[in-house]
């Protein structure tokens, strides 16, 4: 099996990280992979905010918990109320992916960029997890201030986040794949 296919098959959503920060050289390679993701009409209308400040990551996690509780969704409240819950799994690096508002294709472009981030990270033996729980950081009256703090451009909105760090604990096994979702017409 070639290395690309092996990387795709080996990548898992990692939710347990060592506190050691990933090197700048690795982060640069990962971000470069994100920039090479496809986007409709090559607009590249995404924005990547890299956060490696533990205090800020923890504050964002706390904001997410507060907003989830205010949202009053029972299943999510149960999740965020578990002991030692951290929205970003204590990852040392978090990348917030934002996209231009009023763009019909930004979700696909941002998703492709997020996947490139994860595959590049896996190729460097760095764990990753794409997550959307981070959207709750932007659901209160603090959203404008938060976007300003994170230097998210005007006219852009949160799409998702990707956590990055060295994998700690047991790596999740490969879950079964449903092959019944493919129809081939020749």
Q: Reply yes or no on domain 13-168 having CATH 2.60.40.10.
A: no
Q: Give residue-wise pLDDT tens across range 23-64.
A: 999 999 999 999 999 999 999 999 999 999 999 999 999 999
User: What whole-number distance in Å separates Cα of residue 17 and Cα of residue 66?
Assistant: 23
Mean pLDDT of 125-137: 96
Q: Whole-structure pTM over 0.85, yes or no?
A: yes
Look over the chain and give the mean of its residue pLDDT values, rounded to a whole number. Answer: 95
User: What whole-number distance in Å separates Cα of residue 70 and Cα of residue 7?
Assistant: 39
Q: b/e per residue, 43-71, with b = 16+ CB within 10 A? A: eebbbbbebbeeeebeebbebbbbbbeee
- Please tell me the predicted confidence (pLDDT) of residue 14: 97
Domain ranges across the chain? 13-168
Other CB atoms within a 10 A radius of the CB of residue 32 amount to 11
Query: Between 24-35 and 106-123, two packed helices, what is the crossing angle to 10 degrees?
Result: 140
For residue 124, pLDDT over 90 is answered with: yes
Q: Which of 32-36, 76-80, 174-178 has the highest mean pLDDT?
A: 32-36
């Amino acid at each position: 099996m070639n290395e690309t296919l092996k990387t795709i098959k080996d990548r898992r959503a990692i939710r347990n990280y060592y506190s050691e920060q990933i090197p700048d050289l690795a982060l640069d390679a990962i971000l470069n992979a994100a920039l090479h993701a496809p986007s409709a009409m090559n607009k590249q209308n995404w924005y990547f905010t890299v956060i490696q400040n533990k205090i800020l990551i923890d504050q964002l996690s706390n904001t997410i918990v507060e907003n989830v509780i205010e949202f009053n969704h029972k299943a999510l409240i149960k999740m965020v109320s578990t002991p030692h819950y951290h929205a970003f799994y204590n990852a040392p690096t978090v990348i917030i992916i934002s996209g231009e508002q009023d763009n019909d294709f930004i979700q696909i472009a941002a998703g492709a960029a997020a996947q490139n981030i994860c595959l590049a990270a896996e190729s460097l033996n760095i764990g990753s997890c794409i997550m959307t729980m981070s959207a709750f950081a932007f659901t209160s009256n603090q959203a404008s201030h938060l976007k300003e703090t994170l230097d998210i451009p005007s006219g852009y909105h949160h799409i998702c986040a990707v956590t990055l760090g060295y994998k700690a604990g047991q790596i999740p096994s490969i879950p079964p794949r449903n092959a019944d979702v493919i129809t081939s017409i020749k």
